[in-house]
Amino acid sequence: MLGIIGGTSLLFADLPALEKRDVATPYGKAEVHTGEEFALLMRHQHNLPPHRINYRACLAALAVLGVDEIVAFGSSGSLKHEIEPGSIAIPTDYISVTEIPSIYDFTIEHIRPELDADLVRTLGDLVPEARVGGVYAQTRGPRIETVAEVRALAGVADLVGMTVASEATLALELGMRFAAICTVDNYANGLGGETLTYEHILAVSRANARRTERILEKIVEQLA
């Protein structure tokens, strides 16, 4: 079963009519919208900022429903001048400069973290306008990164966001394949000319809502 995780980039999209369910997990309840062919989870449910999201409950809820592969939509900032705002990127690796949650609190278990290469290739074929490749760096949020942090991250990564690395790691721990489509909503702090605000990020998401809808429709048609 296909799982879709959405965030800021899906806030203004017209989403399919699905049944809303509260799914109980060992880590708490998570709200998931379900259909016969796929499940949609909005990560910022109850308007929670990135550092307050119960990632373990969210990913466990998808696993409980029988999801075996996940495509996450993530809003991101560009760390490189050549990755322009308004573009789409499909990363092939990730790093995190903050704590990553785990389901392994009482056992010693080491997974090999990765973004699923086959799923990345499939998404690249479905979204030919996307840039395939690069590293996603996760910061804690909710604040935007400092100019100095952006300069440091640009040496090792191409995109910066606050959610995808946590979701990817938990998905793998729970036996689900995972890949991400990142909407590039802005240049990271200090890289562009504009003053970066959350309102600016929302405006870009609103402007690209129809494009995001079309991408979601393609993914559901081909993978669900």
Question: What tokens appear for 194 in the block?
Answer: 């504009």
Q: Which of 4-13, 22-31, 81-90, 101-110 has the lowest mean pLDDT?
A: 4-13
The average pLDDT across 76-92 equals: 96
Q: How much is the pTM?
A: 0.93
Q: Tell me the pLDDT tens digit for each residue of 56-81.
A: 999 999 999 999 999 999 999 999 99
10 has pLDDT over 80: no
Question: What tokens appear for 18 in the block?
Answer: 């699905």
Distance, in Å, from the CA atom of 149 to the CA atom of 141, rounded to the nearest integer, reads 13
- 3-class DSSP state of 73: strand
Q: Tell me the pLDDT tens digit for each residue of 149-181.
A: 999 999 999 999 999 999 999 999 999 999 999
Q: What domains are defined for the chain?
A: 2-223 (3.40.50.1580)
Q: How many CB atoms neighbour CB 32 within 10 A?
A: 23
Distance, in Å, from the CA atom of 140 to the CA atom of 122, rounded to the nearest integer, reads 29
